[in-house]
Structures are given as C-alpha cells and as structure tokens.
Chain A
Amino acid sequence: MDRYTQLVNTPVGKKLAKQVGLPKPVPLKRWVPGAKVVEGKVLVGGAPAGRLAAPLMRVLADVGADVATPLRADLREAAAEAGLDASPWTPQASVDHRYGALVFDATGITESARLEELHAFFHPTIRQVRTCGRAIVLGTTPAAAKTPGERVAQRALEGLTRAMGKEIGRGATVQLLYVEPGAEDRIAGTLRFFLSPRSAFVSGQVVRIGGGGGPSDGFDWEQPLAGKVALVTGASRGIGAAIAATLARDGAHVVGLDVPALEDDLKAVADGIGGSALALDITDPDAPKAIADYLRKEHRGVDVVVHNAGITRDRTLGRMDAERWNAVIAVNLSAIERITGALIAGGSKAVLNEGGRVVCVSSISGIAGNAGQTNYATSKAGVIGVVDAYAPLVAQRGATINAVAPGFIETQMTAKVPLPIREAGRRMSSLSQGGLPVDVAEAIAWFASPACGGLNGNVVRVCGQSLLGA
C-alpha cells in the first residue's frame, strides 16, 4: 500500500480527503489460496429472454456463492436447476442488503429502449455494493447480433460499464463480458476471475468470450495449470517474477527466461518456485530456435508462453537516437513475433502444445501513447498487433493468444519515476492507486488457464481503469 493510501485510510486522513475532495483509494483485497471466489451475496439479474441464466447459475453454484435473484420464472428456475438456494429479491429489498457482486445477463436486450432493464437493476443496487465488490454485465458480442437493433443495444453496454466503473468507488470493479452465441458454457473461467479478488486491479474492461475449449469435468480450479509447462520471459524480477510465482502457484512448471547478465536473479526466482532457468538474450538471432529446442528437449513442448520481457529507453522523439529506438522495438516487439513464430511452426509438431496459451504484455502506453515513450508505445501497440495477427493462426491448434496491458504498477521501475508523475499515475484512475505485480500476474494466469479456451484475441488492461487512453 502506498503512503497516500495508508494516510487516507486513517480516521483523520479519511475526513481530510472527504473535505478537500481528494481521491479515496481503499486497500484492495487480493486473492489468497483457499479463499472463497466471492464473499457476500451475489445478486443475479437479467433482461427477459437472456441466454446466460443457466450457465451463470451453474458457475455460481460451483463456487458456493450466496445468491439472490429477482422473482422471475426464468431466473428462479435456472437457480433451482443449478441447486442454488437463491434468496428472492426485489428492488425494495435492496435497502437492507450489501452485495459482494452484482451480475446482470443483458443478452436478452435486443433494442435500445430495453436498456432500461439495466437501469432498473443497477439503480437500486449500485450503492449497496460492498467494498472491493464486483459488478459484471454479460452481453452478446455486437458483431454476432442478429439485428441492427440488437447490435446497437449490445454495443451500448460498453458505455454503461465503463461509466459505472468510474462511479462505483470503494475498490469495487465493473466489467463487461461479451459472450458469443454458442459460447455460453465457456464463461466459467472468466466469470470466476472477475468475481474474485484475483481481478482486484482490473476495472472498466471489455472481454470477448468465443468458442474454444472450456474446463473439463472435475477441473481443478485451485491448480488449473497442474502438469503444464510455462515459459515466462523477463522472469528475474518485478512483474516477471510475480508472473512466474503465480503460474507456479497454479501448478505449472515454470521455465524462467532472462538475459545472461541477470542469471543469478533468475536462478533465485526459479529455485524459489521449483522451476527452471534459461538465460539468453531474446534479441539474439538464434534465440527463437534455442528456446524451441530447449523446451522440446527438456519438457516435450510448452503449454503457456508469457511474453513479459520488456525495456524502456525514454526520450522525446526529437532527442531519441536510433539505438534507443531499435533496442526497444527489438526486445519488446520483434522478439515476441520471432519467438511466437518459432513456437507455433511445424503444425501438429509445433513446440506450443495443443491447447497452448500465449499471453503478451502490452501497456497502456501502447493504447494511449505517452510523451517520452514513442519507441515504447510503438512496441506495445505492436504487441496488440501480434495478438490480432496470431489469434486466427493459433486458434487452428486450439491455442489462444491474448494480451494484458498494465497501467501504473508499483515496481522498482516505477519507484524511480519522479513523485508528481508517479502520484498522477496512481491517482488518475478509478481505483486511485497503483497496482501490484501480482495483479498483472493474476490476469495472465486467467488467460493461461485451460478453462479459458474461449478467450482469443483479447487485450485486457490491468490499470485500475486509468484515465489514460480510456
């Protein structure tokens, strides 16, 4: 917790912040192994004729959620079917309740006038959400809508959820999940992530869930990566080390990769999580082949690849020499393309195993741009291009590629940023604070999960809904 967040959560600080109108960050709840997915009552609503009530209720029953629903036959029957002892709910009943999460199935909304259903549900409840609570709207991917009216209404949901994210406060988050028709049974992994404290620093995001593999029967949600091999580049410190630790926590054998100069740090990380260390420079022309050979020989392939390695060489464009430009593009972008290419080459004999997961680390700089970071922003926007370009290619093998785009994360790197800029980075977001490396790692673990085959081509920001590029 940064000093301001500590201060503003003391009795005096709280009063002061209120009077002066300062941001009021609350300490975010993070997930700890064994914790419940969602604490507090989960209120599930939906527009009539939605198609997600049944799968939603099944997920909530699986996670042992305490559910309430409006007294509508379809919702009540779906709850009963899933074995959920859901309390009945009406808007009048909200007064006495605090909700851990509000979940609304908006897939039944096929014309803009019916968006009023969202108002009817959230109006009496949004102020009753607990600290660090959740609001999740599920819609139909606009491009998959059957009529222009439906497409318009579904596209409109983005404005609602992003605006709600800015209003909800007290560490609560708001997301929109677009579910393609036919992908109803693919929502479990994503819904669990966004309901749980794993998504503490993710808010105002839009996620598209399509076809592709879902969780198998008896899926182990505590050890989703058991038996899997994960490659994490840039693993020796900061966010990379957190990613390695989180994937190891989820059961993966992690192969940490970093430059030879950081080999000692890298080994320490790998030893700490029972993983392996691979020291090489990813910009080396032989690196892609060396990585592929190593993974094939030592682990008979790889299941999860996390392109985390990245560097900054900040200067305004007019003062930036070609060396700075080229170094950043080479590490942050070209290496990712080349390594990804090498790992998926060879069709059924590719190093990336069937159902593999590639997760790239982009940045809000790549989305919003940032003064002094033309090279970095170019590379990170290019990473989004990698996701776009490779998504259809990897899908052929049941694999996926997605990216996280971190905002202001508290690391050694950001600790060196001058205080005024650092404070702006922290406070200019809905959650009014910086994230932790583990927040990025949790989002990557979500994309890496075998349960999330329905996610391909997504870019999700881990930025506390930063105002930058929003």
Chain B
Amino acid sequence: MTPASPRRAVVLGGNRIPFARSDSAYAKATNQDMLTAALDGLVDRFELAGERLGEVVAGAVLKHSRDFNLTRECVLGSRLAPETPSYDIGQACGTGLEAAILVASKIALGQIEVGVAGGVDTTSDAPLGVNEQLRAILLDANREKSTAGRLRHLLRVRPQHLAPAIPRNEEPRTGLSMGEHQARTAAEWGIAREAQDELAMRSHVNLAAAYERGFLDDLVTPYLGLERDQNLRPDSSMEKLAKLKPVFGGAEGTMTAGNSTPLSDGAAVALLASEEWAKARGLTPLATFVDAETAAVDYVNGREGLLMAPAYAVPRLLERNGLSLQDFDLYEIHEAFAAQVLSTLAAWEDPVFCTQRLGRKDPLGAIDRAKLNVNGSSLAAGHPFAATGGRIVAGLAKALHERGGGRGLISICAAGGQGVVAILEA
C-alpha cells in the first residue's frame, strides 16, 4: 500500500561531466560512455557503489537505434547494483527535467525511496541513418528467401542511395529549424539584439564566477581532459558579441552564435530521495521537489511560437501552488536562446498575452533579473539537449540550499512546442 497522502521528494545533489562543444573533446565519446561517467561520478559522491536504487530514469534526444535501452545499459556499465531498474524517456530538451518529475513523483507516492534522473546527448557521435530508399531496398532483400531474390533487390541500389540520413535540427511539421522559429517569436516580441547579447554575457560571467568560487566542485566531475564547460568564455565582452553576424532570422535577424546555444555533448544526473532515505544515509536534502507542470502549444498553425510553451506551463503551476511569479528567490530559465528567455519574460508582462491566452485578470509581471540564472545557464555551459534538466535541478537545489532557503522556479522549453517547468524549495 502506498501512503494516503504524498510525501516530500528531496533533491540530494547531482553530478555531470563538463559540457563539450560539438566535434571536440567528446567527439569519440558515445551517449553510453558519457551517461555512465556521469552516473559513476554520482556513485562516488554519494557512496552508492553496489547499491540497488529505486530506479534510474534518463534519456537522449539524438539516439542510436542500438541504444534502445540506453539507461539500463549505462546502469549495467556503472558501479550501481545491476539490480537497479531503469528506463529511457524522451521529451526533447525537457527530457532531463521530465525524468526528475517521474522520479520525484514515485518517491512522493512511496513507490520508491531513491532514484536518479538525468540525460545525455551527443551531437558529435550522431546516429546516421541509412538513406530511406536504401533502407527500403535492404528490407526488401532481407524478406527474400533465395539468394537470387536478394540479389535482384540489391541490384536496385544506386550511388545516390549511399548518402546517409543525418539527424536535422528542424521541426518535422514546419521544416523550420528551432532557431528560425525562435527568430520569428523574437521579432514579434521585439527582442533587441543588445538585450540578447547582455543575457548571454551575464550567463558567461555568472558561470565563470560560479566555477571560481567552487560552486561547481561537487556538481561537475572532469571527463576526457575537460574540467570546465568548453563553451564558457569568461573573457567574453559585449563588443565581441556585438560583432557576430546573425545566424537566424535573415540579415536583419538578432540571433547570433553568441546568444544562441551551441551544439554540445555531455551528460548530467541528479539524485532524488525520500526524506527518510536521506536521513538514514546522513545526507542533507538540498531542496524539496515541490511540483511540476508541462504544457504544449500549437506552433504548427502559427498561433504560438515554438518555444513559448513554458510561458503557459508556469502560470498553471503558480495557480496550483497559490504563488505569484514574484514569489521566487531564484529563477532558472533554460537559455536555449537568449531570445527565448526574453520572449517568455515579455509575454508574462503583456496584458494581451496574460488575459487572452492565459485567461488571467492581470499580467504576471516582471521578475527581478538579478535572481535569474545566477550561476550561468545554457548559453555559457552549452546545452546537450537531454542533459540540461539534470544540470539545472542539481544546480538550483544547491543554490537554494547555499543561500539558506528559498524558492526556485525552473523553466525549460522543448522541441515540438513543449515546455516543462518545476518548483524547488529549500
């Protein structure tokens, strides 16, 4: 029997490997290598070697077909007990946070005592697919019983069939890249280039400062020669950012390689447990995983921007918890693009968006920008898609604990017009 009322699920910590730029330090590392490394780092930090945990939940956005049981394979490759169950999930860039929601929910319901949530992604060791026409021919040949029959099919192969199918960063239903989608949203909301560059600048400055003061010492484990996130540029300046050419939205666009996240590789996991389990282990809970919400928008018919779903998810979450947008001490809004963060904040200040689309009486209002992404976010750290949730959950929990308590909001946008958001409290 599960308890009648849910109990608290707490975040105990996390571990990740430094994030690398695509085709660089981790060019030869597989998703399995990286997630296993992140798990083993967590095992070391929390002395979990040989332990059977409730479950490990993780995923990857770009995944080889052989990795159908990726998380389970990583657990088997780690120093956790092989009896630890695991499963893969996928919700694009929301994967990591969604994994944490699942683990936290099972803990709250008393179904498990402890679990690991995380994610991994590589854009370097990307899964190349066989050309669609070639795939059809090979499958036809495979269905034949006789050698002659197989040969007949194989003779249909032409040189152009050898071109591989490369995973593309575009929405299947619109054919537009995520950046192009966001460029439209940014133009609508009038998000200025300078504001985006400033946000990017602050991300680098904040992450560099976090490394300097040792904030990340118990959150990051060096891997393959990297000790810090490869994308981090502590010496970045507004002047340098201003020189970059727009990469989305045409020549008049405002989005550059500097204020958009780069393709990157990495893995991150977070450890969640019941208070009882933490106490029995002598571990200090960093924060409670209070509640979470997901939302999706109709970006296909152009009624809403692709990455605007968090703007809907957060108000619903606030409503359910009786909170206002200003009732937070820290905000972690994933910087897929600086423009995504700024469009979301602009929407929350807009009377039309808030009354007509959210059905509220008043705008949610502005937030204190000094509380936003205080230890840097994806623009500086990089964004291996499914790994971002684990990075943020562990980082925010620690930041809340470090300041002696408080409430934090997490907001992550995802491909497919989705958004995953959560509240942590310490």
Q: Do A86 and B352 touch (CB < 8 A)?
A: yes
Top-9 shortest CB links A-B: A90-B190, A85-B356, A80-B351, A93-B187, A92-B187, A80-B355, A93-B188, A80-B352, A76-B351
Task: Please tell me if B112 contacts chain A, counting CB pairs below 8 Å.
Answer: no
Kindly supply a per-residue 1/0 record for chain A positions 61-90, scoring 1 wherever the CB is within 8 Å of any chain B CB and 0 otherwise: 000000001110100110110011111111
* In the assembled complex, B369 has its CB within 8 A of some CB on chain A: no
Do B356 and A80 touch across chains, with their CB atoms under 8 A apart?
A: yes
Scan B330-364; emit 1 where CB is below 8 A from any A CB, else 0: 00000000000000001000111111110000000
Contacting residues, chain A, for B252 (C-beta < 8 A): 92, 95
Some 24 contacts from A to B, beta carbons below 8 A apart, are A70-B190, A73-B351, A76-B350, A76-B351, A76-B352, A79-B351, A80-B351, A80-B354, A80-B356, A83-B355, A85-B352, A85-B357, A86-B356, A87-B188, A88-B188, A88-B189, A88-B190, A88-B346, A90-B187, A90-B188, A92-B190, A93-B188, A96-B184, A96-B187
Give the residue among A69, A76, A85, A88 with the most B Cβ atoms within 10 A.
A88
Q: What is the CB-to-nearest-CB distance from B95 to chain A, in angstroms, rounded to a whole number? A: 30
Q: Is the CB of A88 within 8 A of B352?
A: yes
A87 — which chain B residues lie within 8 A by C-beta? 188
Is B250 among interface residues, defined by CB-CB distance under 8 A?
Answer: yes
Distance to closest chain B CB from A210 (angstroms): 31
Which residues in A have their C-beta under 8 angstroms from that of B357?
85
Contacts of B249 in A (CB 8 A): 92
Residues of A within 8 A of B (CB): 69-71, 73, 76-77, 79-80, 83-90, 92-93, 95-96
Most chain B CB atoms below 10 A, which of A76, A88, A92? A92
Q: Mark B179-200, 1 if CB is under 8 A from A, else 0.
A: 0000010011110000000000
The answer to whether A77 and B190 have CB atoms under 8 Å apart is no
Given A71-B346, A77-B351: A95 touches B356 (CB 8 Å cut-off): no
Since A79-B352, A83-B355, A85-B356 are in contact, a sample of 13 more A-B pairs with Cβ atoms closer than 8 Å, ordered by chain A residue number, is A71-B346, A73-B351, A76-B352, A79-B356, A80-B355, A88-B188, A88-B190, A89-B188, A90-B188, A90-B190, A92-B252, A92-B254, A96-B187
Q: Identify the closest chain B residue to A71 (Cβ).
A: B190
User: Which residues from B are CB-within-8-Å of A86?
Assistant: 352, 356
Residues from chain A with a CB closer than 8 A to the CB of B254 are 92
Set A84, A95, A96: member contacting B352, Cβ < 8 A: A84
A301 to B175, CA, bound (A): 65
Q: Output the least CB separation between A127 and chain B (Å).
A: 15
Shortest B252–chain A CB gap in Å is 6
Partner of B356, one of A84, A89, A92: A84
The CA of A77 and the CA of B351, in the complex, are separated in Å by 6
Q: How far is the CA of A77 from the CA of B363 in the complex (A)?
A: 10
| Size bracket, chain B contacts | 10 to 19
Taking a contact as CB atoms under 8 Å apart, the answer to whether A71 and B189 are in contact is yes
| Cα separation A89 to B190 with both chains bound (whole Å) | 7
**Which residues of chain A come closer than 8 Å to B184, judged between CB atoms?**
93, 96
Residues of A within 8 A of B354 (CB): 80
Q: Evaluate contact between B190 and A95: CB separation under 8 angstroms.
A: no
Say whether A71 contacts B350, CB under 8 Å: yes
**Chain A, Cβ-Cβ closest to B186:** A92
User: In the complex the two chains form, what is the Cα distance from A243 to B11 in whole Å?
Assistant: 76
Closest beta carbon of chain A to B250's beta carbon, Å: 7
Do A90 and B189 form a contact, CB below 8 Å, given A84-B356, A95-B252?
A: yes
| Closest chain A residue to B350, Cβ basis | A76
Return B275 CB to nearest CB of chain A, in Å: 44
Cα A83 to Cα B354 in complex, Å, equals: 11
Contacts of B187 in A (CB 8 A): 90, 92-93, 95-96
A85 contact set on B, CB distance < 8 A: 352, 356-357
- For B356, the chain A residues whose CB sits under 8 A away are 79-80, 83-86
Could you give, for residues 239-280 of chain B, a 1 whenever the CB lies within 8 Å of some chain A CB and a 0 otherwise?
Answer: 000000000011010100000000000000000000000000
A76–B352 Cα distance when bound, in Å, is 6
Q: How far is the CA of A86 from the CA of B249 in the complex (A)?
A: 22
Q: Closest residue of chain B to A68, judged by CB?
A: B188
Specify which chain B residues have a CB less than 8 angstroms from the CB of A79 in the assembled complex.
351-352, 356
User: Which interface residue of B249, B250, B356 has the most chain A CB atoms within 10 A?
Assistant: B356
B253: min CB distance to chain A, Å:
8
CB distance from B43 to the nearest CB of A (A): 48
**How close is A229's CB to chain B, nearest CB, in angstroms?**
42
CB nearest to B355 among chain A residues: A80
Q: In whole Å, how far is B396's beta carbon from the nearest beta carbon of chain A? A: 29
Bound together, the chains give a CA A77 to CA B184 distance in angstroms of 23
Report the minimum CB–CB distance from B350 to chain A (whole Å).
Answer: 6
Instruction: Looking at the assembled complex, report how far the CB atom of A147 sits from the nearest CB atom of chain B, in whole angstroms.
Output: 31
Task: Give A33 Cβ to nearest chain B Cβ, in Å.
Answer: 28
Closest to B351 in A: A80
A300→B199 CA distance, assembly (Å): 73
Q: Which residues of B contact A71 (CB under 8 A)?
A: 189-190, 346, 350
B188, B254, B357 — which one has the most chain A CB atoms within 10 A of its CB? Answer: B188
Complex CA gap A435/B87 in Å reads 71
> How close is B356's CB to chain A, nearest CB, in angstroms?
4
A372 to chain B, nearest CB (A): 55
Cα distance A130–B242 in the bound complex, in angstroms: 36
Docked pose: A214 CA to B188 CA in angstroms: 35
Which A residue's beta carbon lies closest to that of B362?
A: A80
Closest-CB distance, A85 to chain B (whole angstroms)? 4
A93 to B350, CA, bound (A): 17
CA distance in complex: A70, B350 (Å):
11
How many Å lie between the Cα of A85 and that of B360 in the bound state? 12
| B26-61 with Cβ < 8 A to chain A | none
Q: What is the bound-complex CA distance between A92 and B250, given in angstroms?
A: 11
Bound CA–CA A87/B184 (angstroms): 12
Q: How far is the CA of A30 from the CA of B190 in the complex (A)?
A: 36
Please name all residues of chain A whose beta carbon is closer than 8 Å to the beta carbon of B250 when the two chains form the complex. Answer: 95
Distance in angstroms between the alpha carbons of A71 and B252 in the assembled complex: 19
Once bound together, how far apart are the Cα atoms of A77 and B352, in whole Å? 7
On chain A, the residues within 8 Å of B350 by CB distance are 71, 76, 88
Question: How far in angstroms is the closest Cβ of chain B from A44?
Answer: 11
Q: Which residue of A lies closest to B249 (CB)?
A: A92
Shortest B176–chain A CB gap in Å is: 11
Bound together, the chains give a CA A200 to CA B350 distance in angstroms of: 36
Q: Roughly how many angstroms separate A90 CA and B187 CA in the complex, as a whole number?
A: 6
Please give, as numbers and ranges, the residues of chain A lying within 8 Å of B355 by CB-CB distance.
80, 83
A92 CA to B184 CA, complexed, in Å: 9
Instruction: Give chain B residues whose Cβ lies under 8 Å from the Cβ of A92.
Output: 187, 190, 249, 252, 254
Q: Which residues of B contact A73 (CB under 8 A)?
A: 351
* Bound CA span A70–B346, Å: 13
Interface centre among B184, B187, B346, B352 (most CB of A within 10 A): B352
Which residues from B are CB-within-8-Å of A96? 184, 187
Alpha-carbon distance between A69 and B350 when the two chains are bound, in angstroms: 11
Q: How far is the CA of A80 from the CA of B352 in the complex (A)?
A: 5
Which B residues are CB-close (under 8 A) to A90?
A: 187-190
Query: A89 CA to B184 CA in the complex, in Å?
Result: 10
Bound form: Cα–Cα A96–B350 in Å: 22
What distance in Å separates the Cβ of B175 from its nearest Cβ neighbour in chain A?
A: 14
Q: How far is the CA of A83 from the CA of B187 in the complex (A)?
A: 23
B158-190 vs A, Cβ < 8 Å mask (1 yes, 0 no) = 000000000000000000000000001001111
Q: Which B residues are in CB contact (< 8 Å) with A88?
A: 188-190, 346, 350, 352-353
Closest Cβ–Cβ distance, residue B405 to chain A (whole Å): 36
Task: Name the B residues within 8 Å of A80 (CB-CB).
Answer: 351-352, 354-356
User: In the complex, A88→B353 CA distance in Å?
Assistant: 9
| Binary per-residue interface labels of chain B (5-40) against chain A in the complex, 1 for a CB within 8 Å, 0 otherwise | 000000000000000000000000000000000000
* B362-385 interface bits toward A, Cβ cutoff 8 Å, 1 = contact, 0 = none: 000000000000000000000000
Closest chain B CB from A182 CB (angstroms): 26
Residues of chain B within 8 A of A70, CB atoms compared? 190
* Minimum distance in angstroms from B326 CB to a CB of chain A: 19
Separation in Å of the A73 CB from the closest CB of chain B? 8
A90 to B195, CA, bound (A): 15
Q: Which residue of A lies closest to B353 (CB)?
A: A88
CB distance from B186 to the nearest CB of A (A): 8
